[in-house]
Amino acid sequence: MRFIDEYRDPAAARAYARALARIVTRPWTLMEVCGGQTHAIVKFGIDELLPPEITLVHGPGCPVCVTPLELIEKAIRIASIPNVIFCSFGDMLRVPGNSKDLLSVKAAGGAIRIVYSPLDCLKIARENPEREVVFFAVGFETTAPANAMAVIQARRLGLKNFSLLVSHVLVPPAIETILSSPSNRVQAFLAAGHVCAVMGYEEYVPIARKYRVPIVVTGFEPLDILQGVYMSVEQLEQGRAEVENQYARCVHKEGNSAAKDLIRDVFRVVPRKWRGVGEIAQSGLGVREEYIDFDAEMRFAVSDFAVEESPECVSGQILQGIKKPHECPAFGTLCTPEHPLGATMVSSEGACAAYYRYRRTSVRASNMVPSGAETHGSRE
Ligand code: SF4
C-alpha cells in the first residue's frame, strides 16, 4: 500500500539498526512522546531491534491517559443529568473514574453517544433542541482545531444547547516537566509528528537549548521511528542538542496557521492537571471568555470534589518514563483491558494496553504474568 509499505520495509529497518550500532558508543535513553509511536514501537518490535545501548521509554502523549480523574468524574456527573446527551470518542467510555465509568452510566440508561467528530454533535444538538448536548473535548493540540471549529459553527448556527467539557493538554510544557524532574533519565525526545503538523516546532527550540537535549520531530511508521532514533543518537554522540525534523513530508516549521488561528480564537492557555503527573503550569487549553457560554464546566457548575487514584496504579511513573508497564505489579493480573485500574490500560494509545496486547508472551516469560492469564483472550 502506497505511503505505508515503504515505511515498513524490513530490510531498510535492519539497515537502520546496523547503522545505529555503528555510531552508538555508550548508553542513551530516549523518550517517544506520543502513544501512537509507543504502539508502533511495541507492535513492530522496534525497541528489540535497537542496539542494547539504546533504551526507549514511553511518554505522556496519550490524551485519554492523562485526562485527570476529576474531569472523568465531572463527565460522569454531567452525563448522568437526565436532560443531557453526552458525546465522546469511544476510548473515554471505559476510563475508570472513582466509582464507575461512562460506559456504566450508559448501561444505566444515560444518553451517551460515541461520535467521530465534534461536528457530529452539532447535528445532534439541532435535532434535539430541548436537550443539552455536551462534547468531551479531550486531546492534544491535534484535536483542538476541530473542537474550536465546532464552537465557532455552533455560534454561527445560533445553537444554545451545545457545550464542550474541555480537557486539552499541550506537549511542550509536559516535556519541560519531565526534563525538570530530579528523577528524569530522558536524554532525547522523539516529538509527536501530528502535534507538530498543527503547531510547527519552533516552541521546541528554546527547550532543546535550555536543557541541552535533542528533539526530533518524528512520524509513526517503523522507519520513521528508526530514523528519528538514528537522528537523536547521532546528535547525542556528536554532543549536539537541536530540533530536527524527521517527518518533513507532513510537518513544516511554522505548522498549520489556519488551525493555530482557530485554536487561538476559541481557547486560551491555562494550567492543567495531568492524571498521574499533577498540575503543570500553562499546559492546557480552556475556553476563552468570549465563548464561555460553550463551556460545559460553567454551564453545569459541577463543583470540585475529592478523588482517589487506585493505589496499585503507577501510570504516572510510566507516563514520565520512570517505569515501564511490565514493572507495575498489577500488570496483567489485577489490571487488564477488561478490568483496567488505570487509563494507560484502557486507551488504544496507552503504554500498558500496548504491552498487554503485544508483549504478554515475553512478559510472561519474565514471570510478570501468571500462566493462567492467557485465558483472558488475546486481542491480536
Ligand atoms: S498496568 Fe494497570 S495498574 Fe499498572 S500502571 Fe498500567 S494501568 Fe496502572
Q: Residues 30-42: pLDDT tens digits?
A: 999 999 999 999 9
Phi then psi dihedrals of residue 84, to 5 deg: -95, 140
Pick 234 or 312 by higher pLDDT: 234
Residue range 299-327: average pLDDT? 86
The whole-number pLDDT of residue 359 equals 80
Q: Is residue 149 part of a domain?
A: yes
Q: How confident is the model at residue 362 (pLDDT cuts 50, 70, 90)?
A: low
Q: Is residue 293 part of a domain?
A: yes
Residue range 276-292: average pLDDT? 94
327, 276, 242: which is closest to 60 by C-alpha? Answer: 276
Q: Is residue 129 part of a domain?
A: yes
Residues of the chain above pLDDT 90, percent = 80
Q: How confident is the model at residue 116 (pLDDT cuts 50, 70, 90)?
A: very high
Ligand 1 atom 1 nearest Cα: 331
Q: How confident is the model at residue 245 (pLDDT cuts 50, 70, 90)?
A: very high
Phi then psi dihedrals of residue 257, to 5 deg: -65, -35
Q: Is residue 263 part of a domain?
A: yes
Residue type, 179: L
Q: How many domains does the chain have?
A: 1
Q: Is residue 267 part of a domain?
A: yes
CA of 51 to the centre of ligand 1 (A): 28
N- to C-terminal Cα separation, the chain: 21
CA of 176 to the centre of ligand 1 (A): 24
- Any idea what the CATH number is for the domain that residue 115 is in? 3.40.50.11740
The whole-number pLDDT of residue 361 equals 56
pLDDT digits (tens, 9 = 90+) for 58-110: 999 888 899 988 999 999 999 999 999 999 999 899 888 887 899 999 999 99
Q: Is residue 27 part of a domain?
A: no
Pick 1 or 335 by higher pLDDT: 335
64, 91, 312: residue to mutate for ligand 1 pocket, most atoms within 8 A of CB: 312
- DSSP bridge pairs for 31: 57, 189
Does the beta carbon of 321 lie inside 6 Å of ligand 1? Answer: no
Model-level pTM greater than 0.75? yes
The whole-number pLDDT of residue 3 equals 72
Does the beta carbon of 318 lie inside 6 Å of ligand 1? Answer: yes
Q: Looking at the chain, which runs of residues are DSSP E strands?
A: 28-34, 54-61, 84-88, 112-114, 132-139, 162-169, 188-192, 215-218, 243-245, 267-274, 278-287
Tell whether the model's pLDDT for residue 14 goes beyond 50: yes
Q: How confident is the model at residue 149 (pLDDT cuts 50, 70, 90)?
A: very high
Domain limits at 144?
Answer: 65-170+255-299
The whole-number pLDDT of residue 349 equals 82
The whole-number pLDDT of residue 369 equals 35
Ligand 1 atom 6 nearest Cα: 352
- String of b and e for 97-123 (b: at least 16 CB within 10 Å)? beeebbbebbeeebbbeebebbeebbe
Angle, to 10 degrees, between the axis of helix 222-238 and the axis of helix 10-23?
10
Does the beta carbon of 345 lie inside 6 Å of ligand 1? Answer: yes
278-287 and 267-274: which strand pairing?
antiparallel
315, 323, 359, 360: residue to mutate for ligand 1 pocket, most atoms within 8 A of CB: 315
CB 235 within 8 Å of CB 241: yes
Tell whether the model's pLDDT for residue 314 goes beyond 50: yes
Q: Is residue 35 part of a domain?
A: no
Tell whether the model's pLDDT for residue 376 goes beyond 50: no
Tell whether the model's pLDDT for residue 280 goes beyond 90: yes
- DSSP bridge pairs for 270: 284
Give the Å distances, CA to CA, from 104 to 117, 346, 349: 22, 15, 22
Residue range 315-342: average pLDDT? 92
The whole-number pLDDT of residue 1 equals 66
Tell whether the model's pLDDT for residue 378 goes beyond 60: no
The whole-number pLDDT of residue 96 equals 85
The closest-lying atom of ligand 1 relative to the alpha carbon of residue 317 is: 5
Residues of the chain above pLDDT 70, percent = 93
CB 136 within 8 Å of CB 88: yes
Does the beta carbon of 336 lie inside 6 Å of ligand 1? Answer: no
CA of 71 to the centre of ligand 1 (A): 19
CB 219 within 8 Å of CB 225: yes
Q: Is residue 118 part of a domain?
A: yes
Does the beta carbon of 341 lie inside 6 Å of ligand 1? Answer: yes
The closest-lying atom of ligand 1 relative to the alpha carbon of residue 345 is: 7
62, 277, 318: residue to mutate for ligand 1 pocket, most atoms within 8 A of CB: 318
Residue range 213-234: average pLDDT? 97
Does the beta carbon of 309 lie inside 6 Å of ligand 1? Answer: no
The closest-lying atom of ligand 1 relative to the alpha carbon of residue 328 is: 4
Q: What integer best gives the mean pLDDT of the chain? A: 91
Tell whether the model's pLDDT for residue 371 goes beyond 60: no
The whole-number pLDDT of residue 308 equals 79
CB 157 within 8 Å of CB 122: yes
The whole-number pLDDT of residue 364 equals 42
